[in-house]
Structure 1
């Protein structure tokens, strides 16, 4: 009986992640093309076998061609896209002033932070800048709740839209193992209660992102099974979960060599993925920092999946129209993981620990895992 119930739940989850929801009745600025929406879910579902074979052949030729020449075909409204099956790269989406405002504000943030680090005798900060600081930047708030961007997200999850509690500003510094994010599914970081929630992520580089400075790599069709593969904790010197390639193939039914796709994104574009698609970021072997934002949304009526520690922020709703986003309440509880750590109070402590460390087998220990308190009990146990 339990097995049958699980199968039904898995079928429903597979449908959620691969079938396009009803399209908005009105055309709005910033909406994705029909082809982009199909790519985000699973374009194979909308073709006959012969049509799909031809499409795959054409995509193969396009990929080979773009390796020789960095160009792409224009889509309507000046938006370009490339990619297939569970993700989509959307080029030239943002206005230059929208991202330039973020860059300018981040420059000031880094200058201020560097001065504070100098004053207290610190010499470096690694990984993710604290969100409680970042979200005070008006330009970041404006970008996350950008009307055009919400119009695109509405095509994926419907008109009820909340900003997810997990989001990041990431400075990927050169030659830094701690800045390399291994293969994983985002859903592996959340609790099982949220496994049936579609969470689109917009990965937005604040510079041109390419192979040299550590762009993203995605495993296409890794979401179609509706499954979350078995992860391990934690990779190298980081707090990141990791997903073995063999486990990925066996659990998710992908062919790693054929389905792993590089996703370079120019400044002004974004990569859209869901929370079941396996992905990783490559090492930064350039001489410059690669900055990026990963912003997430979901239907606020569904479980947030953050172990009861924090909820999201309502951005758009037909049922309860939003006149002003409550950023203050959202940022007032921006350090929910402190109860899981046994570390000393230090605002510049870069060690991170959280409940995902208890969900998966710990095969590697480091200075992050050393701070995790095994007796933490304030999160959802499954």
Structure 2
């Protein structure tokens, strides 16, 4: 699948684009199965250590993680792409179906940016105290979590849900056209957020996206996450790509080429090497990954 000219123009005009029906169930299932296996391993370890009393092993992917975290928040600690480093996720990030779309906006020399996440937004009624930020992620631009040396880099966000992302399950809201204003100053307020006085007075758009679809965003597009009012987890994957050779905005974290017409041999296809790159990262103590 490739973007149509109309879709490219809309993205370039509004700063975001929702593309439906990009991935099939078969495309997403290996990633879901891998996440489920990681959850199961964490649950069994916690059970063996006496930290939980119920495995909930017959509950579906959309509910089990919440039921486990309600017993022990420790189960969710460090649960992210660079935390468990799964092969299915690695293959998905460099898969043809996704990169064909990325190429429509970045060209043939593509690098996977090190800012990459899998997110489980629990139902609000189960989130617990102190989790308001994760339920209602404030207005921000993705460039706010990159270093200023990457300001000239075209880093594009590709966000996809593993369940339907709707107003009920806690989808995103975006501000179209605002990306043309560039970087808006942010501050730390329970999370990185645009200084309230700088928020543009524009109509916000509910970026609902069904499972299998994709939300593409410019790094300067303001967006936020709204509360999950459903009884299931809003699972999503947040990936970013940039042109090979451009600063990534996270120079101390590993980025890697995933597509190259000029030098196909440069593409990283070895999951063991990818894991080694991440495991060798020694992040400086106290080093901020955000601009504020």
Whether TM exceeds 0.5 here: the answer is yes
Q: Distance in 2 between matches of 1:324 and 1:92?
A: 27
Aligned CA distance change for structure 1 residues 228 and 120 (closer, same or farther; 3 Å): farther
Deviates more, 1:188-197 or 1:126-135: 126-135
Does 1:113 pair with 2:42?
yes
Aligned CA distance change for structure 1 residues 337 and 171 (closer, same or farther; 3 Å): farther
The answer to whether the Cα contact below 8 Å between 1:304 and 1:311 also exists between their aligned partners in 2 is no
The answer to whether the Cα contact below 8 Å between 1:207 and 1:267 also exists between their aligned partners in 2 is yes
Shift of 1:301: 0.6
Aligned CA distance change for structure 1 residues 108 and 35 (closer, same or farther; 3 Å): same
1:233 to 151, 170, 188: 188
Q: How many pairs are equivalent?
A: 262
1:246 to 182, 197, 210: 197
The answer to whether the Cα contact below 8 Å between 1:314 and 1:325 also exists between their aligned partners in 2 is no
The answer to whether the Cα contact below 8 Å between 2:18 and 2:215 also exists between their aligned partners in 1 is yes
Aligned CA distance change for structure 1 residues 194 and 103 (closer, same or farther; 3 Å): same
Q: Which residue of 2 aligns with 1:355?
A: 288
Q: Distance in 1 between matches of 2:170 and 2:10?
A: 23
Shift of 1:120: 4.1
1:298 to 242, 249, 272: 242
Q: Which residue of 2 aligns with 1:86?
A: 15
Q: Which residue of 1 aligns with 2:2?
A: 31
Q: Distance in 2 between matches of 1:314 and 1:89?
A: 25
Q: Distance in 2 between matches of 1:91 and 1:131?
A: 24
Secondary structure in structure 2 of the residue aligned to 1:273: strand
Q: Which residue of 2 aligns with 1:135?
A: 85
Q: TM-score, normalised by structure 2?
A: 0.83
1:325 to 269, 275, 291: 269
Does 1:279 pair with 2:235?
no
Shift of 1:333: 4.0
Q: Distance in 1 between matches of 2:245 and 2:161?
A: 29
User: How big is each residue's C-alpha offset from its partner over 1:79-117, in whole Å with a ceiling of 9 and x where there is no partner?
Assistant: xxxxxx111111111122011222122111111112223
Secondary structure in structure 2 of the residue aligned to 1:294: strand
The answer to whether the Cα contact below 8 Å between 1:313 and 1:325 also exists between their aligned partners in 2 is no
* Structure 1 unmatched runs, 5+: 1-29, 43-84, 250-254, 342-353, 361-382
Q: Distance in 2 between matches of 1:287 and 1:185?
A: 29
Q: Distance in 2 between matches of 1:130 and 1:186?
A: 18
Shift of 1:194: 0.2
Shift of 1:139: 2.4
Shift of 1:324: 5.0
Shift of 1:248: 2.4
1:169 to 102, 115, 118: 118
Shift of 1:337: 6.9
Q: Which residue of 1 aligns with 2:284?
A: 339
Q: Which residue of 2 aligns with 1:221?
A: 177
Q: Distance in 2 between matches of 1:337 and 1:116?
A: 26
Q: Which residue of 2 aligns with 1:266?
A: 210
Aligned CA distance change for structure 1 residues 121 and 279 (closer, same or farther; 3 Å): farther
User: How big is each residue's C-alpha offset from its partner over 1:295-314, in whole Å with a ceiling of 9 and x where there is no partner?
Assistant: 111112101111x3123111
- Structure with the bigger RCO (C-alpha within 8 Å, sep 6+) is 2
Alignment of 1:169-188 (within 5 A): 169-175=118-124, 176=127, 177-180=132-135, 181-188=137-144
Secondary structure in structure 2 of the residue aligned to 1:183: coil
Secondary structure in structure 2 of the residue aligned to 1:340: coil
Q: TM-score, normalised by structure 1?
A: 0.64
Alignment of 1:151-166 (within 5 A): 151-166=100-115
Q: Distance in 1 between matches of 2:32 and 2:175?
A: 30
Q: Distance in 1 between matches of 2:44 and 2:5?
A: 48
* Structure 2 unmatched runs, 5+: 52-71
Q: Distance in 2 between matches of 1:241 and 1:337?
A: 23
Q: What is the RMSD computed on CA atoms of the aligned residues?
A: 2.0
